[in-house]
């Protein structure tokens, strides 16, 4: 699918991060039973992924709570009144309940107008980007002049349940345990993306268009297991053939990038800045080698946030903006690759940055390492 926009601007971003930091070393200490049984060397998880730490929200926090914070920050950064928002999409895998839509609680807390549509979108790690496409379409069609896409992922439950299962399952081998590695890379974060019609935009960060590409023959390579009810909530599990997913995902990205270049007229050397879905060091290296992109153009957060699912790309973009990664005139590519396999690539002509960040954590909080 080809996407072309004349009137859509990426106006601002907001994000929220949990205070609690959990290092990869701490996860491996908790995995000592299976590490000892299989004689796995300590440090292998960080070596394989490049992830030093990740963050977790509390176990009982509803995703909407963080989505409200990140959404409010995006509105404040753009200095736009909540009454002007005509569409709200909640795009993360995590949600408050199966029904109603998690977007409803965010809609209420942000005091959005009765005329503002609110609903959820689910597309694994590309949920927020899928929401951006729907919002951009509505703006281009003249249905609304402003739309907000939000989402929150809390990986605590998945990581804790994975550790519990790995230590308890005596049948696991060095080969079969690989299916759980991706689950141990997951972290938590929240993000919001505000899009506006160019007629009311203060930034003129034009969303030029992009590509949607699907290679669904490989939809079984990464699956979240059935949620099992328990007194304290849900017990999600996930199995991922990481090696096959990497190979097939990069192949899909290569095919999508050729189409993206044809649509935008941007070759690899024309792209000045990139933000990608955050998986790990091997994924980044192979992606940039295959697509011929300059690694120096990229900004990453997987080292300290891990893989935060649908929030990974927008959170990384927000932090990159905060740290001055983008300059006026930068041709900026948003490159999303998610299980399914789905690819979304969007091109932005960047001009001006607005991002509302959470208050900076104190030095002591940044150093704090909390056991799960």
- Write out the catalytic residue numbers: 99, 125
Residue 251 structure tokens: 């192949």
State the greatest distance between any 2 C-alpha atoms of the chain, in Å, as a whole number. 63
The torsion angle over the Cα atoms of residues 282, 151, 326 and 350, rounded to 10 degrees, is 120
The torsion angle over the Cα atoms of residues 160, 161, 163 and 167, rounded to 10 degrees, is 140
* Residues across the chain: 372
């Amino acid at each position: 699918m080809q996407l072309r926009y004349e009137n859509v601007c990426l106006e601002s971003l907001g994000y929220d991060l949990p205070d609690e930091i959990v290092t990869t070393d701490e996860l491996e200490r908790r995995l000592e039973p299976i590490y000892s049984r299989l004689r796995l060397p300590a440090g292998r998880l960080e070596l394989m992924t490049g992830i030093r730490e990740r963050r977790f929200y509390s176990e009982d926090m509803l995703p909407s709570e963080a989505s409200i914070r990140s959404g409010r920050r995006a509105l404040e950064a753009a200095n736009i009144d909540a009454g002007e928002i005509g569409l709200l999409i909640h795009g993360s895998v995590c949600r408050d309940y199966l029904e109603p839509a998690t977007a409803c609680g965010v809609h209420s807390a942000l005091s959005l107008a009765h005329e503002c549509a609110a609903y959820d979108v689910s597309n694994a790690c590309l949920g927020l980007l899928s929401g951006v496409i729907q919002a951009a379409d509505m703006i281009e069609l003249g249905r609304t002049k402003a739309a907000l896409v939000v989402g929150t992922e809390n990986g605590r439950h998945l990581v804790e349940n994975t550790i519990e299962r790995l230590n308890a399952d005596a049948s696991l081998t060095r080969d079969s345990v690989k299916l759980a590695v991706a689950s141990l890379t997951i972290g938590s974060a929240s993000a919001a993306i505000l899009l506006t019609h160019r007629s009311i935009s203060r930034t003129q960060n034009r969303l030029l268009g992009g590509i949607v590409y699907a290679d669904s023959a490989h939809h079984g390579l990464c699956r979240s297991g059935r949620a099992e009810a328990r007194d304290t909530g849900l017990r999600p599990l996930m199995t991922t053939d990481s090696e096959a997913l990497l190979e097939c995902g990069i192949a899909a990205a290569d095919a999508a990038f050729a189409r993206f270049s044809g649509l935008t007229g941007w070759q690899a050397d024309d792209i000045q800045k990139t933000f990608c879905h955050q998986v790990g060091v091997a994924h980044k290296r192979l992606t940039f080698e295959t697509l011929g992109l300059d690694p120096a153009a990229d900004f990453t957060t997987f080292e300290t946030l891990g893989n935060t699912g649908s929030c990974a790309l927008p959170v990384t973009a927000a932090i990159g903006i905060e740290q001055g990664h983008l300059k006026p005139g930068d041709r900026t590519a948003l490159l999303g690759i998610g299980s399914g396999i789905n690819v979304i690539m969007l091109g932005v002509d960047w001009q001006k940055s607005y991002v509302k960040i959470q208050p900076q954590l104190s030095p002591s909080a940044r150093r704090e390492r909390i056991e799960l």
